[in-house]
A = this chain, B = another copy of it.
Amino acid sequence: MKSLIVIDLMGTAVFAAEGASTAATARLDVLGILVIGFVTALGGGIIRDLLLGYTPPSSIRDWRYGAVALITGTVVFLFHASTADMNYWLLTSLDAAGLSLFAVAGVEKAMEFKLHPLLAVMMGGITGVGGGTVRDLLLNRVPTVLRSDVYAAAALLGAAITILCLKLKMPPTLASVLGIVSCFVLRMVAVYNHWNLPGASS
């Protein structure tokens, strides 16, 4: 599955760039930038693999993930001032693409371990948002996925649609594509319309 690895590494690069950029804005030093880039990109998959008992996690077994994350972090460190002006919609699209891909990859991996579909969907969500959550913990913030707009919800939707399609005996590739597209579209529409999930009545 050469093409899958390429897409997966692209997602890793996008998330690493986001994490490193956040760390640079928080005025961390170069090593802090690399570490935050690394955990943002690979933290979600690592948590999923630990929960599944698949150790060492994929991103520790295969050096290419770590290398992509660290090279991306280095680039952000060197050129942070110029990336700060990148187009908002380009960044949002790249992030939504990474989220979609990770969520669907996560649910597929969980299905291999014969998890109950409810829990497999949760694994998809963890893979999508886990890295950003660890980043926010390390930067001493309430994780944005817990407070904010339709983000984890999009990951869960993509994961759920992938499973639904697989249960309906669709070909796996089609199931993945439909899951990825659903997550991506929901996320972009939600950002565009400033959708938020409701809070509890008070």
Contact = CB atoms under 8 A, between A and B. Distances in A.
B199 A28 contact: yes
B199 A29 contact: yes
Interface residues of A, number: 58
Interface of A: 23-24, 26-33, 35-36, 46, 50-53, 55-57, 60-61, 63, 66-67, 76-78, 80-81, 113, 115-116, 118-119, 122, 133, 137-143, 145-148, 152-153, 156, 196-202
A33 B153 CA distance: 13
Given A32-B147, A66-B122, A153-B31, A76 B116 contact: no
How many copies of the shown chain assemble into the complex? 3
Given A63-B118, A138-B137, A143-B138, A77 B200 contact: yes
Contacts of A156: 31
